[in-house]
Structure 1
């Protein structure tokens, strides 16, 4: 069958790649065309546009890049119409993908949405639109089942694909030697994969490095940026930026400072005590605070429905606060052990790996029924 996938950011690329791998195992004649990234491209098919040209986050940022977004939308719609896939698979990225879903539904295509839009966070009435334009919705967070049910919508709960990615990870036993890392314990810095995230967060992250001379800091670099881009923010701190090795960094880390997003959950799955940080355009944050109806921003805290990891958002995201929290993660054994114990509860709550395979099987079955 012919599959068209749309992923607009690094996490979507990861989940899209694992889904493509699972689809190929179940459908030996699978053909792929997609908006995505390097990981999806490694699975084969045709990469139409890289997510590096698409990932704009925040109300103000979207407005500032509206022309680019509209061009990407037009290109995507035209390409889908020309390809005529048996099934369209949209992966997260709701601002873009819900518009693509509406277009596809109008043109009689089967629309599957993998990783539900976070409509439970704000403007919950968007569920009504999803019911109208999405044929099958696959959710990865346990609490989403009851949320959608409360709106009279049946969904498929498939578990979390990050469990698949972490389960499939094979650590590089030569990692420390390969990058000339010394015997000091590692503090991982994960400043995100978008330009605006890195530019806002990395300066504060880098500012704390000199406060911890007994540790070595390692930055997880996003593959869509060159090393020189990071040099702008880390100066002469002699901190290593390592690309395409985030899981190896986490597997060797003692603590981490992590941009809010998928990486917070990945860090927890590797059982690395962490601080979650986020900064956005001030107007974007002001709008978000007036609209968002949830108490946390990190996936760890959202899934556990309580404060497990410290969140330093906007004006609270400062070098002083980051340093203070890092000291607690490093030196306060009771504090550190409580977080690790909560990680164990988180793992119990999330269940076992298998989301990618389960989703692939459901997509194929739905597509076959649609063609019958």
Structure 2
């Protein structure tokens, strides 16, 4: 709505980070073509989507998550373990999402893995905006640690992860952590989404690579048996090496550091014209 108003007033519109019209409501391309002068996209397949499918030229500038991860302050491994009373066993991170209803569904199944792997220790990445007390009722007697608001620190140290579909799947990949991508919603929501969203994959990792680099367990497939099977796989050294190779290729496709700076320079260049 702001773009439409601005265009009518004679302003040039620069749009940084495209809406995901490749996933749903593709008809928005009409408004974009009408109101946007320069579009800056952060996913490599978006350039092809806009230019080849819709004949609308865009700039691929790379992904700002690479900068966010590269610029973060490194964490002291020993101090982190001591702070949360963790031992030297490898860490498996649980990322059950950010919304209450989502966390309830995801965490219940993820926690069923804890007793199956005594040689590992499980750590939940608490979501910003949620209280510790919210998680407590689900933890019961599980030997699992809750770490609030330190997801990047945890990801930099963990061995593997179970991750709810979303941006976290890409963050996990950029930290080079083998993962199983999980998602389960209500039956009605899932059936609606299937009809609206026309994608081969739900994780950004697989969408960018256009192949199943990470396993996606969706709806009925997200169960204790399948999750254990896939967790066994990402703990296997041979499989992990293949994942690491794919992750490095993924990072190359994302264009390296400097997405926002690159965008700013392009906008400045256009303004100077």
> Counterpart in 2 of 1:154?
57
| CA pair 228-161 structure 1, distance change in 2 beyond 3 A | same
Q: Which residue matches 1:236?
A: 141
Report the Cα distance in structure 2 between the residues aligned to 1:110 and 1:192, rounded to whole angstroms: 37
> Per-residue displacement from partner, 1:146-168 (whole Å, max 9, x unpaired)?
21112121222110111111111
2:16, 2:40 within 8 Å by CA — same for their partners in 1? yes
Q: 1:104 to 1:313 in 2, by over 3 A?
A: farther
SS at match of 2:44: coil
The partner residue of 1:291 within 196, 206, 212 is 196
Report matched runs for 1:89-168 at 5 Å: 99=1, 101-102=3-4, 105=7, 111-150=13-52, 151-168=54-71
Q: CA RMSD in A?
A: 2.1
Aligned partners of 2:114 and 2:143 also within 8 Å: no
- State the match for 1:361 in structure 2: 265
Q: Secondary structure at the match of 1:203?
A: helix
Indicate how the Cα distance of structure 1 residues 193 and 359 shifts in structure 2: closer, same or farther if over 3 A, else same. Answer: farther
User: What is the DSSP-based 3-state SS (H/G/I as helix, E as strand, rest coil) of the residue aligned with 2:93?
Assistant: strand
Q: Answer yes or no: is the 8 Å Cα contact 2:17–2:41 preserved in 1.
A: yes
Distance 2:111 2:198 in 1: 32
- 1:213: how far off? 1.6
- Displacement of 1:232 in angstroms is 2.4
Corresponding residue of 2:74:
171
1:345 maps to what in 2?
249
2:240 equivalent to 1:336 = yes
| Maintained 8 Å contact 2:39/2:59 | yes
Q: CA deviation at 1:104?
A: 5.4
Query: How many angstroms does 1:233 deviate by?
Result: 2.1
Aligned residues: 270
Name the structure 1 match of 2:118.
213
Alignment partners' CA distance in 2, 1:281 and 1:105? 40
State the 1:347 CA deviation: 1.9
C-alpha distance in structure 2 between counterparts of 1:234 and 1:104, whole Å:
50
CA distance in 2, matches of 1:197, 1:361: 39
Instruction: Tell which has more relative contact order, 1 or 2 (C-alpha 8 A, sep 6+).
Output: 2
The alpha-carbon deviation at position 334 of structure 1 amounts to 2.1
Secondary structure of 1:213 counterpart? coil
Q: Distance in 2 between matches of 1:316 and 1:100?
A: 42
Deviation at 1:122, TM superposition (A): 3.5
Deviations 1:4-41 (A, max 9, x none): xxxxxxxxxxxxxxxxxxxxxxxxxxxxxxxxxxxxxx
How do 1:64-79 residues align onto structure 2 when only pairs under 5 Å count?
none
2: distance between equivalents of 1:103 and 1:193? Answer: 33
Going from structure 1 to structure 2, the CA distance change for 1:105 and 1:229 (only over 3 Å counts) comes to: farther
CA contact (8 A) 2:61 2:255 kept: no
**Does the C-alpha gap of structure 1 residues 233 and 154 become closer, same or farther in structure 2, counting only changes over 3 Å?**
same
Q: Which residue of 1 aligns with 2:215?
A: 310
Shift of 1:240: 1.6
Distance, in Å, in 1 between the alignment partners of 2:185 and 2:66 is 29
